[in-house]
């Protein structure tokens, strides 16, 4: 995590115009124009000169940092791939490509909230906040290693993002959107909804075989056939009707689950550009 000299208090003093902490694209364009107009030479020194100087001074540290991040991205975070959690797809087992999508996508979403957003929440926080989440030394700072996981820190970050509202400074005093959620807040709400579905609703969905009664019918069939599961050989008409009913309900439940899974994957795809830190 690099602190850019062009965004420092020193740069503000050199430039003579404080840089805003955040702004819309129009707001940044207006600020750049006004800052250049105020003093073009001082603007160049603060925005270009300091950047050149930092590049020279930080050459060796930046190279070390790049090596560290290559190792992190290649073997720890594995940012070049989508990988299912062993809880969902056991390593060494076979799954068709289509069956991997749900697990890979939502495992990444869960990691995004519990690792990436958790880091974001404490990255610029004071030591007291970091201590609140019991963040180890390697979870922050220049040599951060992306293995620290804290669901609560990630959820607290989403709560902060969800609270963001348009202000007069960003869009003007007469804009109709003042006080309404920003696009970032809207995306944060969707991320929270999808995360909650995956970690709570999906994990607690009733097993379709149990919910349909198919498991119970199979056990009854085994008892009726000397421990063998033989629907074709069963002469019990009651069990036959029960198995037909359970099988139809099983298909209905599985179809509903498949539809829900697909809807959630589509919702996740639609907000993919908002998954950044």
The length of the chain in residues reads 277
How much is the pLDDT for 1?
A: 56
How much is the pLDDT for 143?
A: 65
Q: What whole-number distance in Å separates Cα of residue 43 and Cα of residue 31?
A: 11
Structure tokens belonging to residue 180:
């309404």
* pLDDT by residue, tens only, the chain of 277 residues: 568 899 999 999 999 999 987 777 788 899 999 999 999 999 999 999 999 999 999 999 888 878 877 887 777 777 788 889 999 999 999 999 999 999 999 999 999 999 999 999 998 888 888 889 988 888 877 667 788 999 999 999 999 999 999 988 778 777 888 999 999 999 999 999 999 999 999 999 999 999 999 999 888 878 777 767 665 555 677 777 888 899 999 999 999 999 999 999 999 999 999 999 8
């Amino acid at each position: 995590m690099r602190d850019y000299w062009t965004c420092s208090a020193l740069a503000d003093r050199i430039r003579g115009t404080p840089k805003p902490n955040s702004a819309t694209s129009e707001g940044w364009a207006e600020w750049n124009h006004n800052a250049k107009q105020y003093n073009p030479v001082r603007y160049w020194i603060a925005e270009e000169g300091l950047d050149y100087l930092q590049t020279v001074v930080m050459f060796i540290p930046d190279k070390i940092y790049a090596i560290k991040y290559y190792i992190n991205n290649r073997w720890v975070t594995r940012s070049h791939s989508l990988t299912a959690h062993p809880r969902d797809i056991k390593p060494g087992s076979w799954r068709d490509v289509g069956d991997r999508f749900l697990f890979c996508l939502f495992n990444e979403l869960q990691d995004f909230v519990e690792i990436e957003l958790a880091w974001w929440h404490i990255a610029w926080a004071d030591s007291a906040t970091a201590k609140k989440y019991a963040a180890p030394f390697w979870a922050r700072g220049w040599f951060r290693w992306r293995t620290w996981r804290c669901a609560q820190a990630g959820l607290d970050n989403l709560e902060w993002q969800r609270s963001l509202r348009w202000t007069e400074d960003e869009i003007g005093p007469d804009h109709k959107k003042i006080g309404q959620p920003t696009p970032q807040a809207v995306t944060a709400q969707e991320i929270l909804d999808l995360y909650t579905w995956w970690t709570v609703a999906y994990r607690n969905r009733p097993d379709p075989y149990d919910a349909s009664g198919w498991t119970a019918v199979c056990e009854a069939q085994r008892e009726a056939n000397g421990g063998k599961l033989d629907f074709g050989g069963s002469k019990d008409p009651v069990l036959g009707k029960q198995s037909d009913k359970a099988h139809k309900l099983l298909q209905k439940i599985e179809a509903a689950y498949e539809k829900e899974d697909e809807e959630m994957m589509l919702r996740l795809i639609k907000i993919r550009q908002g998954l950044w830190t």
